[in-house]
Amino acid sequence: MNKNVLLLCTNNSGISIIAQAILSKYLKGLNVFSASLSKNKPIKIEVKKALQKDGSWDNEFTSKPLEVLHAQKFDLVILLEEVSAKQTPDFGDETTLIQIEYEEPNYSSEITLDKFIKTIKMELIPITRDILEL
């Protein structure tokens, strides 16, 4: 049975989309979702281009508010930015909740975005794999 992972950030236009793309591509057996905690913004075109170059883009990726996923249960929720306890909803006792803060990369720099994608691969894949015992 596939496990469900949710990646949360403020706008769901950059960091969480990159994380969703990477986890979806490299960790099989996961349903990976991303959403915004406050207001979602369109996915940055530079993010889409960088993920296409990496081979991890999927046209199914969309920017969405957390409310859209209200009925979904998650095995793991990863907060990708500094978030106050007030902003974080209760996902229930069966959900593991962790916070890994990433600084917004310079989206206009292709080199910086490529490095950020590599960072996500090196850090987030092993963390997710360990927590979910994949």
* pLDDT tens figures, 14-24: 999 999 999 99
For the segment 2-18, the average pLDDT, to the nearest whole number, is 94
Q: Which of 69, 11, 70 lies closest to 40, judged by CA?
A: 11
Would you state the pLDDT for residue 84? 55
Contact 132, 111 (CB under 8 A): no
The residue that leads in pLDDT, 59 or 39, is 59
Name the amino acid, one letter, at 35.
A
Question: How far apart (Å, rounded) are the C-alpha atoms in residues 34 and 46?
Answer: 18
Would you state the pLDDT for residue 85? 56
> Which helix (H) or strand (E) element contains residue 32?
strand 30-36
Instruction: Assign residue 114 the CATH number of its domain.
Output: 3.40.50.2300
What's the pLDDT tens digit per position in 73-132? 999 999 998 765 567 888 999 999 999 989 999 999 999 999 999 999 999 999 999 999
Give 111's Cβ-side CA count (13 Å radius).
0
List, as one string, the DSSP characters of 96-125.
EEEE---PPP-TT-HHHHHHHHHHHHHHHH
As for how many domains the chain has, the answer is: 1
Identify the three-state secondary structure at position 79. Answer: strand
* Phi, psi for 79 (deg, rounded to 5): -85, 120
Would you state the pLDDT for residue 120? 96
Q: Which of 122, 117, 97 lies closest to 107, judged by CA?
A: 117
Total-model pTM: 0.94
Would you state the pLDDT for residue 110? 95
For the segment 19-42, the average pLDDT, to the nearest whole number, is 93
Write out the residue range of the structural domain in which residue 70 sits.
3-132
* Phi, psi for 60 (deg, rounded to 5): -75, -15
What's the pLDDT tens digit per position in 56-74? 999 999 999 999 998 899 9
